[in-house]
Structure 1
């Protein structure tokens, strides 16, 4: 009897000690980080990066910035999905009927950060609940005071302390480079290619979404069809370059070009695995896949 009491007393004391240790660790800042590796939040009060991206959804709508979105009337359908992922600074205001109104997460290129700053009222007040994931080369994202893009993001985080601005780590960028090389057999840097925002977006969506519906992306063969129509590169810039012309210029650029067509061939292979579906416009390569 005494031995049982002693056993339970020891168990209670051990539990109390563990609870006190846990509270101490939490208060001391040694709590385990939770979230998705490779995407870290910029803390509003310091230049140090902290907090992994905490984001997961059942069914996601990935919405392209392409002019393919115009006239499709897919806005209500997009807004019905669990989460909506957009790219760069593509606006929803004025285009709700075609692109929807909700934005859960934006993947943004370093080249578009100045536009975020210029239109910060729209992005950090109107879309205050949106999470932002920023990618860019090391020279722009360095944290020693010389990273122009990173410095701008720190300023935004300080001005909007409740915002969720994340950066893609150097290791994650290298991982994405590895994915491109595994899929194409080509070293990205040696081939003179820059991964597109769409490529980073697709990889992130595959990591955080249970299923993905893609809107506004054409397949890799679209621009080779003789009867393809003129479509603006961005739906919110209707008078700018034709999408297919932009794709061809980048695809064949010796240096600094996005391999848009090559990337879409990669997406087509990923779609065959069943998690990814291109619903508007529908891709011919997935006509026999289950919905």
Structure 2
């Protein structure tokens, strides 16, 4: 009788141990799933080769910082730097503008047309900010990976030179997906309408996938320029004496071929803000 009791206690304690162990494993798996998010079709460019690895990044809250002149005098730098992940675009600098735009950069989304500019300022972008992840986008003719595309070859050179940095590209499938999103939202085929998607559009696509909530800084809504007909805000905060933002937006919206549809894109973002946790600051949007 005593032996039976000992055996029963042994198997009972063993069952409890196994149950506890399986519970811990399950909880750990759930925890890992919650804190990592593999984003397909953002392909890692490795040292000397194109790696079959994709961007794995998840943030509870992101700041998406526009390159707009709206950021001048915003004084939002400290607030931006306190946010978990900060997304910037193209070659927009932080040095000298820290008070308004902050200094931290988690991710930088870069157009094919800005690659050469970044390479001219390697120290600022790659040597002084090794923690930043770069995600490049562009048409197939500039991003083909057969050695015949100068833009992609330059991105590969950067990956070879800075092997510990996260350097990624939007795959051709991802670019086609973005075209499909534009067509779904507008009813227009992007190519047939003569439009080019902007870096802001690609950045918002990425932000919606990697961020639970987004605070967008310095982006105007689709009606801003009609309400402020004589706005002289510069197109870029770091190019004070060049094009004005609204003049740029209006001209591109009218281009029959090769223009960005900045105003149309902003109307799309306004709809997305009702589905996703997106807030706009400097200026704020009335949704």
The interval holding the TM-score normalised by the smaller chain is: 0.7 to 0.9
Query: How has the CA–CA distance of structure 1 residues 98 and 145 changed in structure 2, closer, same or farther, with 3 Å as cutoff?
Result: same
C-alpha separation in 1, matches of 2:276 and 2:146: 43
Q: Alpha-carbon deviation of 1:274?
A: 4.3
Q: Which residue number in structure 2 is paired with residue 22 of structure 1?
A: none
C-alpha separation in 2, matches of 1:250 and 1:103: 29
- Answering whether residue 56 of structure 2 is matched by residue 39 of structure 1, we say no
Please state whether the residue corresponding to 2:92 is helix, strand or coil: coil
C-alpha separation in 2, matches of 1:240 and 1:256: 20
TM-score norm. by structure 1 comes to: 0.85
Q: Alpha-carbon deviation of 1:108?
A: 0.3
Q: Alpha-carbon deviation of 1:228?
A: 5.0
C-alpha separation in 2, matches of 1:273 and 1:156: 37
Q: Which residue number in structure 2 is paired with residue 204 of structure 1?
A: 206
Tell me the C-alpha RMSD between the 2 structures.
Answer: 1.8
Q: Which residue number in structure 2 is paired with residue 176 of structure 1?
A: 178
C-alpha separation in 2, matches of 1:68 and 1:244: 11
C-alpha separation in 2, matches of 1:281 and 1:274: 19
Contact 1:43 1:50 in 2 (8 A): no
C-alpha separation in 2, matches of 1:123 and 1:55: 20
Deviating above 3 A after TM superposition, structure 1's stretches of 4 or more consecutive aligned residues are none
Q: Alpha-carbon deviation of 1:176?
A: 0.4
C-alpha separation in 1, matches of 2:128 and 2:164: 13
C-alpha separation in 2, matches of 1:39 and 1:165: 10
Q: Alpha-carbon deviation of 1:226?
A: 4.1
Contact 1:250 1:258 in 2 (8 A): yes
Please state whether the residue corresponding to 2:213 is helix, strand or coil: strand
Contact 1:218 1:281 in 2 (8 A): yes
Q: Which residue number in structure 1 is paired with residue 14 of structure 2?
A: none
Q: Alpha-carbon deviation of 1:54?
A: 1.3
Q: Alpha-carbon deviation of 1:38?
A: 1.0
Q: Alpha-carbon deviation of 1:259?
A: 0.1
TM-score norm. by structure 2 comes to: 0.86
Please, which runs of 5 or more residues in structure 1 have no aligned partner? Answer: 1-33, 286-291
